[in-house]
Structure 1
């Protein structure tokens, strides 16, 4: 097999093409639809299985790997501030564009029928209303569930996320022997979950083929109109955040030209785009930030590894946009309190998403479940997820590098004044 075909994104692209052809040719075959429905549900069940353990272990290991020195505490405070600001702005950009463009509405009507959504709108509306009965106060109450095991069983991830943050924070402050034991355990659990995630993502081409071919067989070509609008909407939001929001923040907070930084970080962005993995891009990111931007090794070594784990601007934007798109497809007009819940979950779950390809699908499932929307929506957006995954990973990595430069400036460093010569930047 050629080396290119061994890469997951090419396998998914080929599966997508075969799915379109098979769905069009076998639209009248009940046996075919039954088989692909089974395979699609099997793949979605695999994603559901990952939700609780992947979120918990990724958050635990991130918190336990935070050093405790006072100088690092200052860096950590600035990093948290940067993550909160940049991710919140990213989510708001996605929220604005999806509410303005309304990709889930076609010719003034919800796109649910064209997308082949099975659940009745009235049923979904009742579930959404039930999910939001506690309005804003209920959101904060769900942050502290009375039974953490029950919350995990019911996928009440808001409480799970808060518990994981609290557990990881206080475990990192235990005496050295106990802290080291906790760190080794959760690091091992996290690495195990990454391998299980990788195993399930190997079957993503089969899942994409099953889910997309079923949609084409049931609904025909009209399903791709709404998905195209969703793709263009999310792509525009990601580009807006990458080319406008982050450069403005970089100029205001560090006095650095956005164009200069974008050009210097191009190797990292291309690596992120091709691998769809913040973790795989980390060595390139560290090299670019230190050698091309002139950030000190101590600052880059602290900010970028943590950023690859918990700073996910593009992922948060995508999660928010996907949830609102699916709600629009069902004809649901989410209230401000429900949109606030989506924003909060996008912020929190993006922190717990591992820096590996397509891990945000798990977080999207969390958000859909929290607001009462069916998880079949995850299967629908898989058709356009791969390219958007590449784009949002590039935004994630660029956000990390911007944060490293801004934090270095706050520490008294002089990024781009201590960098390698301009000829290296152009290399």
Structure 2
């Protein structure tokens, strides 16, 4: 919560500045609006800078840690199947809610209401080029002829697929070569986390500049769609946390959802307050072993893997955010584009670091892949921190549900405390 305070404090201050300061106010011929625009662009560029190395190293480290297909065995198969299933369900819920509520659809010119700079017609043309008008094109882009060019051009789908293969086949190397590769990419991942932490230290300034710029351009009109976006995400997370996961617990695991949620309360509160599934991991493991009676063999495999690759709440949020930003530009996304968003959300949720605001990087990946400007992220920054805390709690909750269901199926669960 201490890390959240500066960002939360920046929001009302930015709104007040945007309301009471004129667009052309400035000093020495430099307007405050242009200063806010510069600072906001600098913050977004910094986020964009870490996308390729962070996503690539994260996925490679995660995949190389799974072991070979033989090493994974039955336990690994169940874990991967559960994480894939729940993430996909969360994504579908997010897409459904965004299409049902349509938080970004407004009366009048959407780019004027949201204070966006990019031209809708230009973006629509780029979007058409990106999608190719066909779902088959999505799969073609998964295997780019030049992986370096794909990364440079922002074709992240191919880079993610390549990283998944690279990480998996590290396990096929001899011990010394495999260890060298793991150490290299683990070091790269740690470095990128430090750089991301550094960037996020300036998040209050970036959020202040972007929100103040938006309010100066549009007034308070932008806050009603933003409130709808907030409600859409919260409803989607609530459906997943209080309907989907309890049903899975009861039907598949034969576990009392109320008792399980009560046993996990300490982990959920820690996840909410820190907005970091990685930081919550020790508390999660203690709750799952002591309160739910899951064996250490299950918890030590399922939970660390879940903190890396299972991000149900994040995947749901990414989809709603991408669709909201597209609606803010007045665009109606085709089935092929929405399918691309679903696929990218599923893949990038594997590569999202378990730290606060890391999903902004994943959203930047999705926007770039479907041809939307990165400036759209500025629309959601005002509510991102609170939603980050909520979606992290859902991420951790899903991990614990998977652990107890897998433990139940393996016969390695006791009654707990």
Query: Shorter-chain TM-score: which interval?
Result: over 0.9
CA RMSD of aligned residues (A): 1.4
**Cα distance in structure 1, aligned partners of 2:127 and 2:109:** 16
Does the aligned pair in 2 maintain the 1:131–1:372 contact within 8 Å? yes
Instruction: For residue 222 of structure 1, give the secondary structure of its aligned residue in structure 2.
Output: coil
Instruction: For residue 294 of structure 1, give the secondary structure of its aligned residue in structure 2.
Output: coil
Specify the alignment match of 2:79 in structure 1.
Answer: 79
**Cα distance in structure 2, aligned partners of 1:110 and 1:299:** 54
Does the aligned pair in 2 maintain the 1:151–1:160 contact within 8 Å? yes
Specify the alignment match of 2:4 in structure 1.
Answer: 9
Specify the alignment match of 1:59 in structure 2.
Answer: 59
Unpaired runs of at least 5, structure 1: 421-427
> Is 1:208–2:207 an aligned residue pair?
yes
- After TM superposition, the structure 1 = structure 2 runs for residues 396-407 of structure 1, keeping only pairs within 5 Å, are 396-407=395-406
Specify the alignment match of 2:15 in structure 1.
Answer: 20
Specify the alignment match of 1:418 in structure 2.
Answer: 415
> Is 1:238–2:237 an aligned residue pair?
yes
**Cα distance in structure 2, aligned partners of 1:339 and 1:326:** 13
- After TM superposition, the structure 1 = structure 2 runs for residues 314-329 of structure 1, keeping only pairs within 5 Å, are 314-329=313-328
Q: Quote the offset at 1:297 in angstroms.
A: 0.3
Does the aligned pair in 1 maintain the 2:64–2:167 contact within 8 Å? yes
**Cα distance in structure 1, aligned partners of 2:408 and 2:415:** 12
**Cα distance in structure 2, aligned partners of 1:253 and 1:72:** 22
Q: Quote the offset at 1:337 in angstroms.
A: 1.1
Instruction: For residue 90 of structure 1, give the secondary structure of its aligned residue in structure 2.
Output: helix
Q: Bigger CA drift: 128-137 or 155-164?
A: 128-137
**Cα distance in structure 2, aligned partners of 1:249 and 1:95:** 20
User: Deviation per CA, 1:182-209, whole angstroms, max 9, x where unpaired?
Assistant: 1111111111111000000000000000
- After TM superposition, the structure 1 = structure 2 runs for residues 57-206 of structure 1, keeping only pairs within 5 Å, are 57-68=57-68, 70=70, 72-107=72-107, 109=108, 111-133=110-132, 135-206=134-205
Unpaired runs of at least 5, structure 2: none
Q: Quote the offset at 1:273 in angstroms.
A: 0.4
Does the aligned pair in 2 maintain the 1:27–1:218 contact within 8 Å? no
Q: Bigger CA drift: 268-277 or 29-38?
A: 29-38
User: Deviation per CA, 1:27-46, whole angstroms, max 9, x where unpaired?
Assistant: 33251101111000000000
> Is 1:372–2:367 an aligned residue pair?
no
Specify the alignment match of 1:382 in structure 2.
Answer: 381
**Cα distance in structure 1, aligned partners of 2:85 and 2:66:** 20
- After TM superposition, the structure 1 = structure 2 runs for residues 9-48 of structure 1, keeping only pairs within 5 Å, are 9-28=4-23, 29=25, 31-48=31-48
Q: Quote the offset at 1:173 in angstroms.
A: 2.4
**Cα distance in structure 1, aligned partners of 2:183 and 2:120:** 47
Return structure 1 stretches of 4+ with deviation > 6 angstroms: none
Q: Bigger CA drift: 83-92 or 14-23?
A: 14-23
User: Deviation per CA, 1:123-152, whole angstroms, max 9, x where unpaired?
Assistant: 111111111115211111111111111111
Instruction: For residue 330 of structure 2, give the secondary structure of its aligned residue in structure 1.
Output: coil
Does the aligned pair in 1 maintain the 2:19–2:216 contact within 8 Å? yes
Does the aligned pair in 1 maintain the 2:67–2:168 contact within 8 Å? no
Instruction: For residue 255 of structure 1, give the secondary structure of its aligned residue in structure 2.
Output: coil
Does the aligned pair in 2 maintain the 1:111–1:226 contact within 8 Å? no
User: Deviation per CA, 1:307-328, whole angstroms, max 9, x where unpaired?
Assistant: 0010000000000000111111
Q: Bigger CA drift: 395-404 or 58-67?
A: 58-67
Q: Bigger CA drift: 119-128 or 146-155?
A: 119-128
Q: Quote the offset at 1:370 in angstroms.
A: 1.0
TM-score normalised to structure 2 length: 0.96
User: Deviation per CA, 1:339-383, whole angstroms, max 9, x where unpaired?
Assistant: 111101111111110000000001101111111111111111001
User: Deviation per CA, 1:213-241, whole angstroms, max 9, x where unpaired?
Assistant: 00011111111111011001111111111
User: Deviation per CA, 1:146-175, whole angstroms, max 9, x where unpaired?
Assistant: 111111111111001110010010102222
**Cα distance in structure 1, aligned partners of 2:110 and 2:3:** 30
Q: Quote the offset at 1:70 in angstroms.
A: 4.6
Specify the alignment match of 2:305 in structure 1.
Answer: 306
Specify the alignment match of 1:423 in structure 2.
Answer: none
| Count of aligned positions | 412
Specify the alignment match of 1:424 in structure 2.
Answer: none
Does the aligned pair in 2 maintain the 1:315–1:393 contact within 8 Å? yes
Q: Bigger CA drift: 318-327 or 21-30?
A: 21-30
**Cα distance in structure 2, aligned partners of 1:241 and 1:106:** 27
TM-score normalised to structure 1 length: 0.94
**Cα distance in structure 1, aligned partners of 2:157 and 2:202:** 28
User: Deviation per CA, 1:100-125, whole angstroms, max 9, x where unpaired?
Assistant: 11111134x56432111222221111
Instruction: For residue 378 of structure 1, give the secondary structure of its aligned residue in structure 2.
Output: helix
User: Deviation per CA, 1:49-94, whole angstroms, max 9, x where unpaired?
Assistant: 0110000111111112224595643221111111111011101111
